[in-house]
A and B are shown apart, each in its own frame.
Chain A
């Protein structure tokens, strides 16, 4: 029974296309995140949501638009994809508060060609 699940696991698309990644958590957490892992394995936060409200928007291009229809779901829509968007995108969730750990999904490997 997967705690944080993302779909799709792999996504290959052409430049200029629009794509979405979906995330769902069944842990009952109020806080969800999107992290980006680049080709050098560096991880950086993109967005966080608490109970459907956007809290953190970490200087991400506005081609990236997160949406949280309810607190168990957080989707990421990307417009006009560029080569530099190729990365692994991780969804995560936590109970919130600095001392609680984040639970990560398996990641979505996005390749823009």
Chain B
């Protein structure tokens, strides 16, 4: 079975500081990994995804993540936090590869707070 672990349910950073949200995965096959963001009372929006093309993945809103197989990690970073980045962030891995039987397995989420 595949799983992801997000370290830190709450992360606070100052505006302009580096954002680092941690995600480790467990998978018996090469994984597809995703970061989603959820703003209050909204659905999930894809930030970026890793599908084995490149280990450093750039996403929307200045976020990027690096896939490190040796560390089974897919940490999310942003060089300079903005107030609008305050949200819940979810790391996820897919299992299954046939149409319809793939499913996202989510981590428990990290709430990012930005301090003015």
Q: Which residues of chain A from 12 to 63 have any CB-CB distance to chain B below 8 Å in the complex?
A: 30-31, 33, 35, 40-45, 48-51, 53, 55-56, 58
**C-alpha spacing A42/B103, complex, angstroms:** 15
Q: Are B99 and A104 in contact (CB under 8 A)?
A: no
Do A98 and B102 contact each other (CB < 8 Å), given the known contacts A90-B43, A104-B45, A105-B43? yes
Q: Which of B15-23, B67-75, B78-86, B88-96 contacts A (4 or more CB under 8 A)?
A: B88-96
- Determine the chain A residues whose CB is within 8 A of the CB of B102 once the complex forms: 31, 48, 94, 96-98
Within the complex, what minimum Cβ distance (angstroms) separates B100 from chain A? Answer: 3
- Determine the chain B residues whose CB is within 8 A of the CB of A70 once the complex forms: none
Within the complex, what minimum Cβ distance (angstroms) separates B33 from chain A? Answer: 10
B28 in the interface (beta carbon within 8 A): no
Q: Which residue of A lies closest to B43 (CB)?
A: A104
- Determine the chain B residues whose CB is within 8 A of the CB of A104 once the complex forms: 36, 43-45
A66 in the interface (beta carbon within 8 A): no
Q: Which of A50, A58, A102, A105 contacts B100 (CB under 8 A)?
A: A50
Within the complex, what minimum Cβ distance (angstroms) separates A50 from chain B? Answer: 3
- Determine the chain A residues whose CB is within 8 A of the CB of B97 once the complex forms: 97-98
Show 23 A/B contacts (Cβ-Cβ < 8 Å), sorted by A.
Answer: A30-B99, A35-B104, A41-B38, A43-B109, A44-B106, A45-B104, A51-B99, A56-B103, A90-B43, A94-B102, A96-B100, A97-B97, A98-B97, A99-B32, A99-B52, A101-B49, A102-B104, A103-B46, A104-B36, A104-B45, A105-B43, A107-B42, A107-B43
Q: Identify 12 new A-B residue pairs, CB closer than 8 A, beyond the known A96-B100, A98-B96.
A: A4-B43, A43-B44, A43-B90, A45-B103, A48-B101, A48-B102, A49-B100, A56-B100, A96-B102, A99-B49, A102-B104, A105-B43
